[in-house]
Amino acid sequence: MKLKETSSNAQPKKVNGIHNHDKQDSQNFTTSTNKKKQVKKTKEKLLTHKQEDLEIIGENHIATSIETPLRKDAFELDDDTKIEKIAVHFKEIMDILGLDLTDDSLQGTPKRVAKMYVQEIFKGLNPENKPATKMFENKFGYNQLLVEKNISFHSHCEHHFVPIHGKAHIAYISNEGVIGLSKLHRIVDYFARRPQVQERLTNQIGEELKKMLGTEDIAVVLDAAHMCVSMRGIKDQTSTTITSFYSGKFNEEATRTEFLKYIQ
């Protein structure tokens, strides 16, 4: 690739969010020894930048994809094995913190936490736990908004592993099918039971409802408080974060306004 001429005070370009110093630096070499040294330096620089970027992503709760980043072999271990392994590691964390694990109150904690991770708060990672849905025929021919509001949910921030809790508001316009109202709650709950980022949670619920209901006309609004904002970092006790997903008719102002009026 031909390098573009850059003025001396030009800022390095950003490639995938990482400052790209190496192309510019490569123009300044004279000897191969210098080159090697420079390459090493550049690599170190890039690595530092990458780590800085990762810190920034985590601290600012930026999602990197709509899919939860899971490895292909995520479910090769069964739940019991996962619980055993997590318990060992959690015990190690407690131990490092200096806690006396022979104390009656603490002895059972590693196993208890491991069970809670696998069977409760992160059970939504496993597609086997996805709620089954039964569609019913839309016998009444009801073709207006259906809004289910104030669905409470608990999730966990994937950057700090502390709770996010709030309310979900969902709306759809039935195409041919309808689903039981409790299914809307179960879908929210399923995707919430993962290490999450609120934007991703919102989109995952929206996309799933589109598929499930066979309609584009879906709206999802989440309003949630993040413990990592209130109990650490900036320590704000009152703020909440609102995210939204609109598709189909909810991109039209009238429909969206009607929905927003109902959830006020």
The residues that touch Zn ion, with contacts defined as CB under 5 A, are 157, 159-160, 228
Burial label for 127, CB within 10 Å (0-12, 13-18, 19+), is: exposed
- Output DSSP code: residue 15: E
228 is in an annotated binding site: yes
Q: What's the min distance (Å) between Cβ of 192 and Zn ion?
A: 15
157 is in an annotated binding site: yes
Judged by CB, which is closer to Zn ion: 64, or 257?
64
Residue 162's contacts (CB-CB under 8 Å, 6 or more residues apart) are: 156, 226, 227, 228, 231, 232
Amino acid, res. 210:
K
Q: What's the min distance (Å) between Cβ of 69 and Zn ion?
A: 15
Catalytic residue chosen out of the listed positions 158, 199, 216, 258: 158
Judged by CB, which is closer to Zn ion: 87, or 157?
157
Q: Phi and psi at residue 149, in whole multiples of 5°?
A: -115, 165
Q: Is 144 a catalytic site residue?
A: no
Judged by CB, which is closer to Zn ion: 198, or 255?
198
The C-alpha atoms of residue 171 and residue 149 are separated, in whole angstroms, by 8
Q: What's the min distance (Å) between Cβ of 159 and Zn ion?
A: 4
Catalytic residue chosen out of the listed positions 61, 169, 196, 228: 228
Q: Is 185 a catalytic site residue?
A: no
Judged by CB, which is closer to Zn ion: 17, or 233?
233
Catalytic residue chosen out of the listed positions 160, 169, 196, 208: 160
Q: What's the min distance (Å) between Cβ of 86 and Zn ion?
A: 20
Q: Is 67 a catalytic site residue?
A: no
154 is in an annotated binding site: no
Burial label for 158, CB within 10 Å (0-12, 13-18, 19+), is: middle
Q: Is 160 a catalytic site residue?
A: yes
The Cβ of residue 91 has, within 10 Å, a number of other Cβ atoms equal to 19
Is the CB of residue 241 less than 8 Å from the CB of residue 223? yes
Report the candidate in 222, 262, 217 with the shortest Cα–Cα distance to residue 240.
222
Which are the catalytic amino acids?
Answer: 157-160, 198, 226, 228
Give binding residues for Zn(2+) as ranges.
Answer: 157, 160, 228
User: Annotated binding site: which residue ranges?
Assistant: 157, 160, 228
